[in-house]
Amino acid sequence: MSAIPFYKWFVGGKTNIALNAVDRHVKTWRRNKLAIIWEGENGEKRTYSYWRLYQEVNKFANVLRSMGVRKGDTVTIYMGRTPEIVIAMLACAKIGAPHSVVYGGFSDQALADRIADAKSKVVVTSDGSWLRGKIVPLKNVVDEAVQRSPVVQSVIVYKRTGQEINMEQGRDYWWHELMALPIASNKCETEVMDAEDPLFILYTSGTTGKPKGILHTHGGYQVYTSTTLEWVFDLKDEDRWWCAADPGWITGHSYIVYAPLILGATSFIYEGAPTYPYPDRWWRLVEEYGITVLYTAPTAIRGLMRFGDAWPARHDLSSLRLLGSVGEPINPEAWKWFYKVIGGERCPIMDTWWQTETGGFVITPLPSVPLKPGSATRPFPGQVVDVVDEHGNSCEAGVEGKLVIKRPWPSMLRTVWGDPDRYIKQYWTDYAQQGWYLAGDSARKDADGYIWVIGRIDDVIKVSGYRLGTAEIESGLVSYRDVAEAAVIAVPDELKGSVIYAYCILNAGSTGSDELEKAIKKHIREEVGPIAVPEKIEFVTTLPKTRSGKIMRRVLKARAQGLPEGDLSTLED
Ligand code: WT7
């Protein structure tokens, strides 16, 4: 029996997500259908039919097995956007090894923390990846991280860019060399998994410093992700689907890799920056590949909108029939531009609200639902979502409250890896009596029952749609020798949704300067990653705190934006 909140789905069911995403298609006419179309930033192109993908997955699964990876062993993947990341993920699934994909923008420290938490013996990476015409040196980051990770025995390196890199004898192996060995046979047994067996861990930011390893499973996850994609985007065999996220985030896991392949669709992947070499790169790709459905984030739309209408106007975008948005509320200006200029006023925009934890879309229109720009509309069929006050009463229309999900769903997270107490505390404590899932967002309903998500209520910041915890950035700041104490807040930004402002108290003897600000930013880039670098660092002598010592971020926020500071009765000083 499954007890709240440790729900189980399809108990006793035997499956493997790779069986439904790959194996099954090669027995049908889809064997010769394109599964993946890829274009590198440098113009390289590759395609994979389901048959070829099947063989590559089998080969790499055999390679992993020969490296000693067994059912239940985790594998950490740190790669750029090439088909190999998809092959690596599917190969792990095939042999029952939970993957932990770490986004290629994270620093060596962040990678080392995630490797240690997942206890991965094997890391899969590439020498580099192309971004804005430059190489992202992925393998260097892995070298640094692995030095701090005694559990790692082997590193498999896919050669993407071909620059000089360090290869450690007896630890590092080239992907192409392993794939050429006789052990890399193109036949491989698919491990029979229980529906509830772990499929992957994906780390995401929460309220406290340590990132949480969100756990998803083979059974429920495959059912829910594929059903949501099929219904919301009405995906058909003749579609060319482009989810322009990174496979390293949940959006990529669910809607670049697993759901489209389960549906037997064609998934397009582009390696690099939307503006390289010119701001029409995406529109050229839509035209050239005949993309029919484009799913992206408001921050990307705003970033491209900046360059004006002439760039998209140069391209024939008439293949598009549907558009999608995810990651943060979409502002009306970006919505209108996306709808008019990109969708030619033909394509409804599916604004999908969901989270790493939910695995798939939870609040979303279906193509037939009347849209309201900025609202993800209504819950997906079967979902019971509400906006409630702190006692659990449903909020009236127009009243802001907390977003909760009232019934379990198949692709819900199962736990926080290695920390079930944190799972309970974070998601199931505020409404423990009712047994509701706390999403961590605030929202409003309108008179038509449409839900308008406002933003996070916890200490999570969304920068360009990326999720960061204030605690992660703050602990990065105080690990710099001059910094005694730090607080970070999110400040609204036209392009990125929000940006990070940091307030630092320096150690006695240190003085604030532009050089110091630069040095601290560099430190954060190395310690946490480029996406966590504050827009501005202010040196202060005190921070507003409650008498119990908690930093009052709302006071800092109000000050940064020149707004009223509100109730200061709990302020210590
Ligand atoms: C948080 C989850 C799920 C894929 C990407 C983000 C915000 C997500 C929307 C939307 C308003 C949204 C929420 C949520 N969010 N989609 N359509 N409208 N807000 O996954 O990194 O786990 O972040 O993103 O605040 O809690 P994630």
To the nearest whole percent, how much of the chain has pLDDT over 90? Answer: 85
Question: Whose C-alpha lies nearest to ligand 1, atom 5?
Answer: 327
Ligand 1 atom closest to 466 (CA): 21
- Copy the structure tokens of residue 262: 């389960």
Q: Is the pLDDT of residue 228 over 50?
A: yes
Expressed in angstroms and rounded, the spacing between residue 2 Cα and the centre of ligand 1 is 27
Question: Whose C-alpha lies nearest to ligand 1, atom 13?
Answer: 328
Ligand 1 atom closest to 455 (CA): 25
Question: Whose C-alpha lies nearest to ligand 1, atom 6?
Answer: 327
Ligand 1 atom closest to 456 (CA): 25
Query: pLDDT band for position 51 (50/70/90)?
Result: very high
- Among 73-77, 299-303, 455-459, which stretch is predicted with the lowest mean pLDDT? 455-459
Q: What is the 3-state secondary structure (H, E, C) of 64-122?
A: HHHCCCCCCCCEEEECCCCHHHHHHHHHHHHCCCCEEECCCCCCHHHHHHHHHHHCCCE
Question: Whose C-alpha lies nearest to ligand 1, atom 14?
Answer: 355
Per-residue pLDDT reduced to its tens digit, 131-151 = 999 999 999 999 999 999 999
Residue of 350, 467, 498 with the most ligand 1 atoms within 8 Å of its CB, for mutation: 467
Q: Are 84 and 175 in contact (CB under 8 A)?
A: yes
Expressed in angstroms and rounded, the spacing between residue 439 Cα and the centre of ligand 1 is 10
Expressed in angstroms and rounded, the spacing between residue 130 Cα and the centre of ligand 1 is 27
Question: Whose C-alpha lies nearest to ligand 1, atom 21?
Answer: 467
Phi, psi of 559 (to 5 degrees): -65, -45
Give the pLDDT confidence score for residue 190 in this predicted structure: 98
- Copy the structure tokens of residue 421: 């107490």
| Cα–Cα distance list, 235 to 31, 226, 377, 381 (Å) | 18, 10, 20, 17
Expressed in angstroms and rounded, the spacing between residue 269 Cα and the centre of ligand 1 is 21
Give the pLDDT confidence score for residue 207 in this predicted structure: 65
Expressed in angstroms and rounded, the spacing between residue 328 Cα and the centre of ligand 1 is 5
Across 482-486, average pLDDT: 90
Expressed in angstroms and rounded, the spacing between residue 213 Cα and the centre of ligand 1 is 17
> Is the omega angle on the peptide bond into residue 260 within 30 degrees of 0, that is, cis?
no
Give the pLDDT confidence score for residue 147 in this predicted structure: 96
d(CA 268, CA 316) in angstroms, rounded, equals: 18
Question: Whose C-alpha lies nearest to ligand 1, atom 2?
Answer: 355
Region label for 401, one of left (φ > 0), alpha (ψ between -120 and 50) or beta (otherwise): beta
Per-residue pLDDT reduced to its tens digit, 429-460 = 999 999 999 999 999 999 999 999 998 888 88
3 state SS of 514? helix
Residue of 255, 453, 461, 472 with the most ligand 1 atoms within 8 Å of its CB, for mutation: 453
3 state SS of 427? helix
What's the gap between Cα 465 and its chain centre? 9
Across 481-503, average pLDDT: 92
Give the pLDDT confidence score for residue 573 in this predicted structure: 59
Across 391-416, average pLDDT: 97
Ligand 1 atom closest to 440 (CA): 26
Q: Which residues pair with 200 in a beta bridge?
A: 99, 216
Q: What is the mean pLDDT of the chain?
A: 95
Residues within a 6 A CB radius of ligand 1: 204, 250-251, 326-329, 351-356, 376, 439-441, 453, 456, 462, 467
Across 370-377, average pLDDT: 96
d(CA 468, CA 460) in angstroms, rounded, equals: 6
Expressed in angstroms and rounded, the spacing between residue 127 Cα and the centre of ligand 1 is 31
> Is the omega angle on the peptide bond into residue 5 within 30 degrees of 0, that is, cis?
yes
Query: pLDDT band for position 301 (50/70/90)?
Result: very high
What amino acid is encoded at 377 in this protein?
T
Expressed in angstroms and rounded, the spacing between residue 86 Cα and the centre of ligand 1 is 23
Expressed in angstroms and rounded, the spacing between residue 367 Cα and the centre of ligand 1 is 20
Expressed in angstroms and rounded, the spacing between residue 326 Cα and the centre of ligand 1 is 6
Query: pLDDT band for position 1 (50/70/90)?
Result: very low
d(CA 379, CA 232) in angstroms, rounded, equals: 11
Give the pLDDT confidence score for residue 395 in this predicted structure: 98
Expressed in angstroms and rounded, the spacing between residue 329 Cα and the centre of ligand 1 is 8
Ligand 1 atom closest to 460 (CA): 25
Residue of 216, 229, 250, 462 with the most ligand 1 atoms within 8 Å of its CB, for mutation: 462
Pairing type for strands 451-456 and 437-445 reads antiparallel
- Copy the structure tokens of residue 191: 């491990």
Give the pLDDT confidence score for residue 557 in this predicted structure: 87
Give the pLDDT confidence score for residue 2 in this predicted structure: 64
Q: Is the pLDDT of residue 546 over 80?
A: no
Helix (H) / strand (E) containing 88? helix 83-94
Ligand 1 atom closest to 357 (CA): 22
